[in-house]
Structure 1
Amino acid sequence: MDNIEYRQNITTQYCFPGNNASCRKEVRGGHVYIVLFIVLSCISVCTVILNLLVIISISHFKQLHTPTNLLILSLAVADFLVGLFVMPMKILQLLDSCWYLGKLACALTKLINGILLLASLFNLVFIAVDRYIAISDPMLYSTRVTPLKMSLSIIMGWSFCLVYVLVFMYFNNHLYPAQMYTTCYGECVVFVKFSWTIANMVVFFLTPCSSILILYSLIFNVARWQAKAVRSVKNSHVHGAKISNSSETKAAKTLGIIIFFYLAFWIPFYISSLTVTGLTTLSILWTVFTWLMAINSFVNPMIYAIFYPWFRASAKYILTCRICESSSSELSLYREH
């Protein structure tokens, strides 16, 4: 009975009826796909809105112009573009198997998709390094990590992602439209060679994620040692240090939660990619796990909203249009301190 219902919900047509080389089109209907479309569309819209709030907050309020927040801004920009560009394209491909925009647009779509997803990981690596320096050497942090140095690091990270994705697409025959292999007209498929699957796992998963986990283990060890040292001394000077260390530790824990969710969304994709000799965007595994990676862009600002008081305060100012007032950029977002 389920098979009969499934066949009724999928009607086979052709992407370009007037072209003999046209791909067969699967137009998916039924209540399941309608609900799926609504849910994924809501996730896409919320991803755009929440990350836009983060971008406006850090860009507008001078109190938030810190090196760490520049990294959060960079991460929010990547997540914002994922919600604005990547998610809608995935929703359309989920509902309609055809590609109507040609090979050039297909190549550009895959290029942008790869850059945005990988830029998120690079930002998380820089965040881990930044938190380690802040915790291990707080007295020299302001001199070692400046907004200018952080901006240059962010630019270098995005540039590396761009170069790597270009090289990846070139060697997998997806950089130039003439190189792209298609079985029929109206297809936009990325076939990843197994050798490049291994390379991706090493360059953009094992190496950076191992670095992140090592850095955060060091961060929490240093934070634990500092907490013991603070508790052993009872004077006003150290009490002030206690507040500072507590703030740094809380920030590290919050960003650690972001790392945890990132790994939880990315690990299934890389584990599954090793079980096949080649991974293609037509596979169900690719669809499910790339959606998990994209949904991570929705989770990040939710974590900010839960754990960062400055985000809740700035969002309130933005939604009530108080940022339109003169000198609104000078408003304090840390009144509880």
Structure 2
Amino acid sequence: MKTLLPIVIAALLMSACTPGPEHALGTLERDRITLPAPVSERIAEIAVREGQTVATGDTLLVLEPERTGARLDAARAEAARLRAARDEAQAGPRSESIAEARARVRGAEGVALNARRDFERVRQVVERRVLPAADLDRARANLAAADADAQAAREALALLEHGTRGEQIVQAEAALAAAEANVTALQVDLARTRITAPRAGQVDSLPFEVGDQVPVGTPLAVLLVGDKPYARVYVPQPLRASVRVGTAATVHLQGTDASYPGHVRAIRSEPSFTPYYALAGEDASRLSWLAEIELDAGADSLPVGIPVRAEFAAPQP
């Protein structure tokens, strides 16, 4: 028993002297905005350089606008055609067209009247057995055809006199609306061939050169924005219970004596790296949670990427 006592005491002293994690490590970061390519065009101009400060609305890159401009011209022409078709449908048939249809009705009715008289004459002659019955059949067929032509002419006139149906006007208006929407979309695409800064910030990355052909959605530029940087740190498991949104923190710049007060503005609910359900026992101490610490003052001009160490205030009882 006396032999085991020194070993137990030594083990307790070592466990008491083993320091637990009292800080979180990370880097200084700024909010990033990625500007994707709105259309698949070649880069015609790059107006800025990496590291340059830009204001809202400043031109960053210019894409070749010719193809988008041609599509816009074609869309405008199609919209003009459909607008004229809509106006024609709303106006209805011209008076000259109606007059022409009435003349066709009179002509068809005259032909039908002549065919009826021929039929009566042939019928009388056939009844006296001067002509064969086949002549009467031909006269009857000619009369039916003439009557049908006259009826068709009258229906065509009625169609013109009643004007365009309401459903046709609705269809014409819908087609025009779709064409005008396409024009608006292409106008936006053409305007966006000039890539501008949506917010004031600093150009962090320009991954392409003039002349490069970029697919739609490919990042053309990355901006660092925001009035000041923030610390993005990984909170170890022993500190996680005491760190929450609003917790006061002190951020130290690695390798210097500079430190900045701040507070936690966000912390992830899920741990990083190894999934939590794959860890047990002592392995649980390897878990870490990504957190963001907003610096209160004095950090406006600090560059991003600097390693930092964050210490958190003790939780209030």
Higher relative CO (Cα under 8 Å, sequence separation at least 6) belongs to: 2
Instruction: Give the structure with the larger strand fraction.
Output: 2
Query: TM-score if structure 2 supplies the norm length?
Result: 0.22
Instruction: Give the structure with the larger helix fraction.
Output: 1
Query: TM-score if structure 1 supplies the norm length?
Result: 0.20
